[in-house]
Structure 1
Amino acid sequence: RMFHDDELEESEKFYVGQPRVLLLIYALYNTLVARSEMVCYFVIILNHMISASMITLVLPILIFLWAMLSVPRPSKRFWMTAIVYTEVAIVIKYFFQFGFFPWNKHVDYTKDKPYHPPNIIGIEKKEGYVHYDLVQLLALFFHRSILKCHGLWDEDEKGDSSSNKEDTDDELSLTGGRRDSSASLKSVNLAASVESIHVHFPEQQTAIRRKSSSSISQLSHRSSFSSHRSKRGSTSTRNSSQKGSSVLSIKQKSRKELLMEKFREQMIKAKAFTIKKTLQVYVPIRQFFYNLIHPDYSAVTDVYVLMFLADTVDFIIIVFGFWAFGKHSAAADITSSLSEDQVPEAFLVMVLIQFGTMVVDRALYLKKTVMGKVIFQVILVFGIHFWMFFILPGVTERKFSQNTVAQLWYFVKCVYFGLSAYQIRCGYPTRVLGNFLTKSYNYVNLFLFQGFRLVPFLTELRAVMDWVWTDTTLSLSSWICVEDIYAHIFILKCWRESEKRYPQPRGQKKKKVVKYGMGGMIIVLLICIVWFPLLFMSLIKSVAGITNKPLDVSITITLGGYQPIFTMSAQQNQLKSLDSNEFNDFLRSYRGNTAALQFLEGYAREDITRADLEGNSNSLWTISPPSRKKMIQGLLDFEADFTVVLSWTIQRTLEEVYPYYIKAPSDSLAKPIKQLLKDCKWENITVSLVKNGSKEGAREWWVLNQLGKRQKTPQESLELFIFSDKVSPPSLGFLAGYGIMGLYASVVLVIGKFVREFFSGISHSIMFEELPNVDRILKLCTDIFLVRETGELELEEDLYAKLIFLYRSPETMIKWTREK
C-alpha cells in the first residue's frame, strides 16, 4: 500500500459495522451536503409557491437567470444577495403585521382577494407569515457553511482582487490602451460639451474563456477605474480651458451667467454619474451573457429528453386539470365538455401555449443556437411568472396559493427551467443522431419506440420539424424514407438481439410457456375484442349501473279530444320504494308466469317504485257548454267508439285503459310492461264527474279510481308501478351511447381491420423483414445522420443513393445482411 494508517482502518471498520438505518442516515446527510444548492433552490421555489407574492418572486427569477447559468457554480455575490434579501423580507413582513395598518383591520374579508394590494406585495397579516422564510434562511446559511468548510466561499474575492491588480498594472504600463486577449477593451467616447466620459466595452472576440461569476465584479472595477481616470483628465482640460478664457476675456461674467454655467456643470456631472452607474450595472450583465453565449470550452450535454418529458407532464396536467385555469369551470370535466362539442377557452389557450413552447424548444435544439435558447429562457421565465402570479389569479378569482393544480404545473415548469438553464450552461451537442429511444437494443426500448410511433401525428410532426430545421440536401419524401428505413431496421435489430440473448436450439419444439403465454394471451385478446360490445353493454348496467329512480310521475287523461278531464302527478312522499316483504310478495304473485319472471330478473328491489296518485284531479274541469253537450251525446251513444288519450301517447278505449306497470328506460320514452299484466289486459278504472255548487258558481272536477289495486285504500286513487332501468356511469356514457351495433361498427370492425393487416400480406414483406444481420444497414443510416451533422452534404446524397440501391437490389441486400 502507498499509504497506511491504523486509525483510518479502524474508523472504516467502525463505520462499516454500524446499523443499516444509521448508514442510511449518513448517506442521506452526505447527499444533502453534496446537493445543498439544490436544497436552497427547492426551498426558495416552495416558499414562492405558498406565499405567491412580489416579495418572494425576485429570488426564483434570479435562480433561473443568474444562479443556474453561472459557471462553474453560483458566486458569493448571489448567495449574499439571497441571504440579505431574505432577511430584509422577514423584517418587512414582521413590520407590517401590526394591527394599526388599515388593511389589517379587515383581514377575514380581504384574505382571499387575489388583487388586494397587500396580498400581491406579500405584507398581509396572517398566521405563520414567516415560517417558510425562516426555513429558506436556514437552508441558505447551511449552504454557506458548507462552502466555507470546503474553501469555496472566498474564492471569488481572491480571484477578483488578483485580476483587478493585474488589470491596474496593465492600465498603468500600457499607454496604447492594449489589454490581454480575454479582457481587451475599446474606448467609446461619449463626449459632452465640458467634460468627456470614456466608457469601455469588451471586444467581440470569437472565443472568450469562461470564468466564474467573478468576471462581473472584475468588469465593474475596470469600468469605474477608467471612468475615474477619464474624469480626472477631463477635469484638468476643463480647468485649463477656463484659465485661458479668463486671461483672454476682458469683460467679467455676470452673476446670472455664472449661475447658468454652474448649473450646466452640475447637470453634466449628474449625467455622467447616471451613465456611470448604469454602465456599472449593464456591463457586467452584458459580459455575463456574452461569456455564456460564446464560451471557449464547455461540457457538452443533452438534456432535451428530460425537458420534453417535463413539458409532456405539464401538458397532461393541463388536460386533466384544465378547470384550474378557468373561472367558472371548477366542477367541469374535459370528457363531458368535449362530448358536448364545447371547447373551454382556458383549456384551448393553455394547450396551444404549451404545444407552441414545445415546438419552439425543438427548433432551438435542432438549430443548436444557444443565443436563441437564452432569449427564449428569459422571455419564458418572465412570461410564465407574470401570467401565473398576476393574470391567472384574476381569471380564476382565487389566489395562486389556493390553486393546487396551478401549483403543481408551476413546480414542473420550474424543473423545466432548471434543465433548460443546465442545457444553456453546458451548450448544445454538436451532433443529434436519431431518436433517443434508439440508443440501445432491448425490449424496453423496442416497446417504447413502437408506442412512440403509435401516437397519432407525433412521428410525422417530428420528421417534418427535423427536416425544416436541419441542413440537408434531401427532399421531404427522401427524408421520411430514410426515417422509415431507420425505424424498421432498429426494430429488426432489437429482435435479432433478443434472439441472441434467448437462442432457440435447432430441432426443438417451442416451449409450452411460450405457446400458452403468448398464444393464450392473443386468443383471449381476440375473444374479448369480438364479444366486447355484448360484455360491455351487459356489465355496464348490471355491475356498474346506477339506479335512476323517477322524480315525478304525471298522468293526463283526455276523452275524445276534449278538454283533459284528469291531471295528476306524484312526487316525493307519493313515490315509494318496495320493502323486502312487498317485493317478495310481488315476485310470488307471478310464480307461474314464465315471461313475467324472465322480465323481473333484470330488476332489483331498488329499481321498482310505486306511485300513489290521488283520484281527485288537481285542476278544475273547464269546458264550454257546447263541447260539454256534444261529449255527453258521444258517451250516450254506446255503438260508437269513444277514445281516451293517455299522456304517454297510447290511445285506448275507456275499458282496460290503465297500464298499471310502466317501464322507464334510459331514454325519455316510457313504455307499458305487458309481461306483468294478467292475460295481457290493462286495468279498469272508474271515472266520475263531481259537481260542487257555491256562491261563486258550480265547480266541477273528475274523480278516477282504480279497481284492482295491490295496496287497498278507502279513498279513490290510482296506483302505478315504475321499473327504472339502470344507466351507465357518466364517465362511460359517451361510449355506452353508441349501443351494441354502434360499438361493433366503430370498435370491433376497425380493430379487426388492423388485426387482419397483421396476419395477412406477410409474404410481400419477407425480403425486408427476415434479415439475419442488420448491422451494416444500421451503420449506413447512422453514417447518413453523421455526415449531415458535419455538413458533408454531397456525401449525404451519395450515402442516400447507396441506401436506395440496397433496397432495390435483392442480391445486394442478401450479401449485406449475411451473418459475419
Structure 2
Amino acid sequence: RMFHDDELEESEKFYVGQPRVLLLIYALYNTLVARSEMVCYFVIILNHMISASMITLVLPILIFLWAMLSVPRPSKRFWMTAIVYTEVAIVIKYFFQFGFFPWNKHVDYTKDKPYHPPNIIGIEKKEGYVHYDLVQLLALFFHRSILKCHGLWDEDEKGDSSSNKEDTDDELSLTGGRRDSSASLKSVNLAASVESIHVHFPEQQTAIRRKSSSSISQLSHRSSFSSHRSKRGSTSTRNSSQKGSSVLSIKQKSRKELLMEKFREQMIKAKAFTIKKTLQVYVPIRQFFYNLIHPDYSAVTDVYVLMFLADTVDFIIIVFGFWAFGKHSAAADITSSLSEDQVPEAFLVMVLIQFGTMVVDRALYLKKTVMGKVIFQVILVFGIHFWMFFILPGVTERKFSQNTVAQLWYFVKCVYFGLSAYQIRCGYPTRVLGNFLTKSYNYVNLFLFQGFRLVPFLTELRAVMDWVWTDTTLSLSSWICVEDIYAHIFILKCWRESEKRYPQPRGQKKKKVVKYGMGGMIIVLLICIVWFPLLFMSLIKSVAGITNKPLDVSITITLGGYQPIFTMSAQQDQLKTLDPNEFNEFVRSYRGNTAALQFLEGYAREDITRADLEGNSNSLWTISPPSRQKMIEGLQNLDADFTLVISWTIQRYKNMKYLISLFFSRTLEEVYPFYIKAPSDSLAKPIKQLLRDCKWENITVSLVKNTSEEWWVLNQLGKRQKTPQEGLELFIFSDKVSPPSLGFLAGYGIMGLYASVVLVIGKFVREFFSGISHSIMFEELPNVDRILKLCTDIFLVRETGELELEEDLYAKLIFLYRSPETMIKWTREK
C-alpha cells in the first residue's frame, strides 16, 4: 500500500468492532451533519407551521427564493441573516410578553381569533412562545459550526476579494487596451455589494457607468461653480466697498434664494443617495436571478416525477379533507354533498387551483423554460403563503395552527417548493423521452403503467398536453397513434422480458403451482364477482346489520273519509322488546307453520317490538252536526258499502307510512293487521305469514259520550298480552340496516349491484377473452426491440428539433404496421 498508518488501522478496527446500535447512531449523526441545511429548513418550516405569524413568515420565503436557489450552496449572508433575524424575533416576542400591553389583558378571549393583530404579527402572549425559535436558533448554530469545521464559512469573503481584484484588473485593462467583447458570465452571491459586482451586460453597464459618472460630474461642477460664484461675489463686494464708485457692485442674493439653492443641492444629493441604495439592492437581486437563468454550467436533473407526486398527494389531501378549507363544514362529507348536487365552494376553489398548477407545471416542464419556472415559483410562493396564512383563516374562522389538514397540505407543498427550487438550480433536461414508468421492463412497471392508463382521461390529457407544448410536425391524431403504439410495444416488451427471466422449456406441461395458483385465483375471483350482490346483501344485514327499532307507532281509523274516529300513538315505555321467554313462546306458537317459521328465521329477538296502544283515543271526535248526520245515514243504508280506513305509521330513523283501504258493510271484523314489517328502504306492510288462516284480528268500536264531549274507544279481542284495559297490540318486525360505512353500496340493492357492478366488470373481463384472433398479428411479436427503438428515435429527433426526420420515421412506423411481411422480418428473434 502507498500509505499505511497503524493508528488509523487500529481506529478503523475499533470502529468496526462497535455494537450495531452505536454504528447506527454514528450513521444517523453523519447523515445529520451531511444534510444539516435540510435540518435547518425543516425546523424553520415547522416553526412557521406552528406559529403561523408574520414574524416567522419571512424565513420560509427566503428559503424558497434565496437559499435553495443559490449555487452551489446558500451564502454566508443568508445564514447570518437567518441567525440575526431569529435572535431579533426572540427578543421581540419576549418584550411583548409583559402584561401591561392592552392586548395581553384578554388573552383567553382573543387567542383563537385569526384576525387579531397580535396573533397575525406573532406577538401574542402564550405559553412556550419561543420554544421552537430556540430550537431553530440551535439548528442554525449547529449548521454554522459544521460550515466552519469544513472551511466553508469564510468562502464568500474570499470570493468577494477575488472578484474585487478581478474588477480592478478589468478596469486597468480598459485604460490600456480593448476589453474582450465576449466575456463569460460570472456567478455572484446575492450578498455581494455593488462595488464587488462584475456586471455581465457590457452595453448596459457602460450606460450605467456613463450616467452615474455624468451625474456625479454635473453635481461636482455645480457645487464648484456655486462656490466659485459665491467667492467671486464676496470678492467683488469687498472690492466695491474699497474702491467705491469706481467698480460696479454686484447685486447680492436674498436669503430665500440661498435657501432654495441649498435645498436643491440637498435634493440632488438625496436623489443620488436613493439611486445608489436602490441599485445596491436591485443589481445583486437582478444579477442573482440572471445567473440562475443563464448559468455557465448546470448539473441537469429531472425531478418532475417527484414534484408531480407531491402535487398528487396535495390533491388527495384536498379531496379527503376539503372540510378544512371551508367555513362551518368540519363534519361535512364530500360524498353526501355531491350526492345532493351541492359543490362546496372551498372544495371547488382548492381543487381548481391545485389542478391548474399541475397543468402549468407540466407545460413549463415540456417547454423547458427556466425563466418561466422561476416566475412561477415566485408567484406560487407568495400566493400560497398569502392564501394559507391570511385568507384561509378568515374563511375557516380558525387559526392556521389549529387546522391540521391545512398544515399537512402546506408541509407537502413545501416539499414541492424544495423540489422545484432544485429543478431550477440544476436546469431542465434537454430531452424528455416517454413516460417515467417505461424506463425499465418488469412486472412492477407493467402493472403501474396499466393502472396509469386505466385512470379516466389521464392518458388522453397527458397526450394532448404533450402535443400542445412540444415542437412537432405530427398532427394530433398521428401523435396519439405514436403514443398508442409505444404503449402497446412497451407492454409487449415487459411480457417478453418476463418470459426471458422465467423461461418455459419446450414440451413441458405447466406446473400445478402455476395452474392452481393463477387459474384458481381467477376462478375464485370470477365466482365472487358473479355472486357478490347476493352475498353482500345477505351478509350486510345478518352479520354487520344494525338493529333499527321504532321510535313511534301511530294508528288512525277513519270512517268514510270523515273526521278520524280514533287516533293513538305508542312511544318510549309503550314500545317493548320481547324478553327471551316471550320470544321462545312466540316462536313455538308457529311450530306447524313452515311459512311463518321461515319468515322468523330472518329476525332476532331484538328486532321484534311490541307496541301497546291504549284503547281510548287521544283526540276528541270533533265532527260537525251535518257531517255526523250524513255519516249516520250512510251507515243505515244497508244497500251500500261503507269505507273503513285504517292507517298506521311506524317512525324510525327514516319515516315510513302505509295506508290501506278496506270495504266492509257495517262490521269491524278482520280489520286489524296485528303484525307489521318495517323494511329499511320501503313502506311498512302487514305480515301475512304470521296470520292464522290469513285473517286479521277483530276489534270493537264504541263511542263514549260526556256532557259536552265524545270520543271513541277501540279494543282488540285476541291480544297475546291479556289485560283488562281496552287497547290495541301491535308487533313490529324491524329489518336491520347497513352500517354507515357500507351504505353507499347497500343503497343500490341487489339488482342495482348486478346492473352497475357485475355487468360492468363482466364487460371489462370479456374484452380479455374475446377478439383475440383479430390482434394476434400485433400481440404475438417475438422481438419488439427494433420497433421500440424506432419509437424512441422519433422521440429523440423531436427533442433535437429534426422535424423532417421525425416525419420520415413516423411514415416508416406506419408502413411497418401496414405491411405484415415487413413486421414479421422486423420482429424475428435474433
- Whether TM-score is above 0.5 comes out as yes
**1:666 counterpart residue number:** 680
1:122–1:670 distance in 2 versus 1, CA, 3 Å: same
Q: Measure how far apart 1:662 and its partner are.
A: 0.8
Distance across 2 between alignment mates of 1:759 and 1:244 = 126
Which one of the candidate residues 761, 764, 779 is aligned to 2:774? 764
Choose 182-191 or 541-550, whichever is displaced more: 182-191
Deviation of the 1:607 alpha carbon? 1.5
Contact 1:302 1:429 in 2 (8 A): yes
User: 1:281-333: per-residue Cα shift (whole Å, max 9, x none)?
Assistant: 11111000000000110000000000000000001111111111111221111
Deviations 1:648-679 (A, max 9, x none): 49999621111111111123511011111222
Query: Hey, what's the Cα distance between the residues in 2 that align with 1:684 and 1:265?
Result: 116
Give SS of 1:693's match: coil
TM-aligned CA distance change 1:226 to 1:24, over 3 Å: farther
Which deviates the most, 48-57 or 237-246?
A: 237-246
**What is the distance in 2 between the residues matched to 1:195 and 1:630?**
112
Check whether the contact 1:496–1:773 (CA below 8 A) recurs between aligned residues: yes
Aligned match for 2:671, one of 649, 657, 676:
657
* Cα deviation code 1:370-413 (max 9, x no counterpart): 00000000000000000001111111111111111111100000
Q: Which moved more, 1:458-467 or 1:251-260?
A: 251-260
Supply the distance in 1 between the matched residues of 2:240 and 2:800 (Cα, whole angstroms): 63
Confirm or deny: 8 A CA contact 2:817 2:823 kept in the other structure.
Answer: yes
Q: How does 1:465-484 map to 2 (within 5 A)?
A: 465-484=465-484
Structure 1: how far apart are the matches of 2:234 and 2:458?
A: 65
Partner of 1:298: 298
Offset at residue 193 of structure 1 (A): 28
Aligned 8 A contact 1:71 1:212 in 2: no
1:579-590, aligned counterparts within 5 Å? 579-590=579-590
Measure, in 2, the Cα distance between the counterparts of 1:227 and 1:743. 100
Do the aligned partners of residues 92 and 183 (structure 1) sit closer, same or farther apart at CA in structure 2, a change above 3 Å counting? farther
Q: Is the 8 A contact 1:657 1:684 kept in 2?
A: yes
Cα offset for 1:248?
A: 13
Say if 1:188 and 1:121 are closer, same or farther in 2 by CA, change over 3 A.
closer
Residues 796-805 or 370-379, more deviating: 796-805
Q: Distance in 1 between matches of 2:472 and 2:113?
A: 56
Aligned to 1:800: 810
Q: Deviations over 1:748-778 (max 9, x none)?
A: 2222222222111111111111111111111
Q: 1:181 to 1:411 in 2, by over 3 A?
A: farther
Range 302-311 or range 535-544, more displaced = 535-544
Q: Is contact 1:324-1:403 (8 Å) kept?
A: yes
8 Å Cα contact 1:196-1:230 kept in structure 2: no
State the Cα distance separating 1:340 from its structure 2 match: 1.9
Deviations 1:583-620 (A, max 9, x none): 22222222222111111111122221222222211111
CA distance in 1, matches of 2:786, 2:469: 28
1:683–1:708: 8 Å Cα contact kept in structure 2? Answer: yes
- Structure 1 residues 731 and 198: CA distance shift in structure 2, 3 A: closer
The 3-state SS of whatever aligns with 2:327 is coil
Q: 2:451 and 2:157 mapped to 1: Cα distance?
A: 53
Greater displacement, 512-521 / 706-715: 706-715
| 1:503-530 superposed Cα distances (whole Å, 9 cap, x missing partner) | 0000000011111111111111111221
Moved more, 417-426 or 104-113: 104-113
Q: Deviations over 1:182-213 (max 9, x none)?
A: 98999999999999999996668999999999
Alignment check: 8 A CA contact 1:187 1:201 kept: no
Q: Does the 8 Å CA contact 1:575/1:609 hold for their aligned counterparts?
A: yes
CA distance in 2, matches of 1:312, 1:294: 31
Deviation sequence 1:251-295 (CA, Å, 0-9, x none): 322111110001111111111111111111111110000000001
* Cα distance in 1 between the residues matched to 2:803 and 2:164: 48
Is the alpha carbon distance of 1:3 and 1:220 closer, same or farther for their aligned partners in structure 2, counting shifts above 3 Å?
A: farther
Q: How many Å apart are 1:247 and its aligned residue?
A: 14
Q: Deviations over 1:134-154 (max 9, x none)?
A: 111111111111111111111
C-alpha deviation, 1:238, in angstroms: 24
**2:300, 2:429 within 8 Å by CA — same for their partners in 1?**
yes
- Give CA deviations for 1:467-525 in whole Å, capped at 9, x if unaligned: 00000011111111111111111111111111110000000000111111111111111
> What is the Cα deviation at residue 577 of structure 1?
2.0
CA contact (8 A) 1:196 1:231 kept: no
CA 1:186 to 1:323, structure 2 compared with 1: closer, same or farther past 3 Å? closer
SS in 1 for 2:190: strand
Q: Is the 8 A contact 2:716 2:728 kept in 1?
A: yes
Is the Cα contact below 8 Å between 2:190 and 2:288 reproduced in 1?
A: no
- Per the TM alignment, residue 87 of structure 1 is displaced from its structure 2 partner at its CA by 0.7
Task: Give the stretch that moved more between structures: 641-650 or 279-288.
Answer: 641-650
Looking at structure 2, the residues matched to 5 and 332 of structure 1 have their Cα atoms a distance apart, in angstroms, of: 70
How far did 1:27 drift? 0.7
Distance 1:237 1:802 in 2: 100
Q: What SS does structure 2 have at the residue aligned with 1:610?
A: strand
Question: How many residues end up aligned between the 2 structures?
Answer: 816
Q: 1:441 to 1:252 in 2, by over 3 A?
A: same
Equivalent position of 2:690 in the other structure = 676
Cα distance in structure 2, aligned partners of 1:644 and 1:204: 102
Contact 1:55 1:122 in 2 (8 A): yes
- Provide closer, same or farther for how the CA distance between residues 340 and 238 of structure 1 changes in structure 2, counting only shifts above 3 A: farther
Bigger CA drift: 390-399 or 231-240? 231-240
CA 1:193 to 1:6, structure 2 compared with 1: closer, same or farther past 3 Å? closer
Q: CA deviation digits over 1:13-63, x for unaligned, max 9? A: 111111111111111111111111000000110111111111111000000
Deviations along 1:439-465, one digit per CA (max 9) or x if unpaired, are 011110011011111111101100000
Superposed displacement of residue 123, structure 1: 0.8
Does the aligned pair in 2 maintain the 1:213–1:288 contact within 8 Å? no
Contact preservation (8 Å) 1:615, 1:704: yes
Aligned to 1:438: 438
Instruction: Tell whether the 8 Å contact from 1:206 to 1:294 is kept in structure 2 after alignment.
Output: no
Runs of at least 4 residues off by over 6 Å: 176-202, 204-249, 649-652
Per the TM alignment, residue 166 of structure 1 is displaced from its structure 2 partner at its CA by: 3.3
1:640 CA drift (Å): 4.9
Rate the CA distance shift 1:176–1:747 in 2: closer, same or farther, 3 A. farther
Cα deviation digits, residues 107-146 of structure 1 (max 9, x gap): 1111111111111111111111111111111111111111
> For structure 1, which segment, 358-367 or 99-108, has the greater mean C-alpha deviation from structure 2 after superposition?
99-108
Q: With structure 1 as the length reference, what TM-score do the two structures score?
A: 0.91
Q: Distance in 1 between matches of 2:540 and 2:196?
A: 86
Q: CA deviation at 1:736?
A: 2.5
Q: Secondary structure at the match of 1:189?
A: coil
Matched residue SS, 1:191 = coil
Contact 1:612 1:717 in 2 (8 A): yes
- SS in structure 1 at match of 2:518: helix
Aligned-pair distance for 1:349?
Answer: 1.1
Q: Output the CA distance in 2 between the equivalents of 1:229 and 1:513.
A: 110
Q: Tell me which moved more, 237-246 or 357-366.
A: 237-246
More deviation, 20-29/244-253: 244-253
Of 176-185 and 94-103, the range deviating more from structure 2: 176-185
- Structure-2-length-normalised TM-score: 0.90
Task: Give the drift of 1:335.
Answer: 1.4
Deviates further, 299-308 or 162-171: 162-171
Change (3 A) 1:386 1:663: same
> Which moves more between the two structures, 775-784 or 716-725?
716-725
Percent sequence identity over matched residues? 98
Match of 1:705 among 715, 732, 737: 715
Cα offset, 1:738, TM superposition: 2.5
Larger CA deviation: 301-310 vs 563-572: 563-572
Going from structure 1 to structure 2, the CA distance change for 1:462 and 1:564 (only over 3 Å counts) comes to: same
Provide closer, same or farther for how the CA distance between residues 200 and 151 of structure 1 changes in structure 2, counting only shifts above 3 A. Answer: closer
Q: Contact 2:236 / 2:250 at 8 angstroms: preserved in 1?
A: no
Secondary structure of 1:174's aligned partner:
helix
Once residues 511 and 809 of structure 1 are traced to their aligned partners in structure 2, the CA distance between those partners, rounded to angstroms, is 38
Change (3 A) 1:682 1:58: same
CA distance in 2, matches of 1:352, 1:304: 20
CA deviation vs aligned residue, 1:193-245 (integer Å, no higher than 9, x gap): 99999999666899999999999999999999999999999999999999999
The correspondence of residues 421-432 of structure 1 with structure 2, limited to 5 A, is 421-432=421-432
Q: How well do the aligned residues superpose, as a CA RMSD in angstroms?
A: 6.5
Residues 364 and 373, structure 2, Cα contact 8 Å, conserved in 1: yes
- Contact 1:69-1:421 at 8 Å conserved across structures: yes
Tell me the SS of whatever aligns to 1:187. Answer: coil
Equivalent positions of 1:559-570 (< 5 A) are: 559-570=559-570
CA change 1:512–1:633 in 2 (3 A) is same
Query: Does the Cα contact within 8 Å between 1:199 and 1:227 map onto a contact in 2?
Result: no
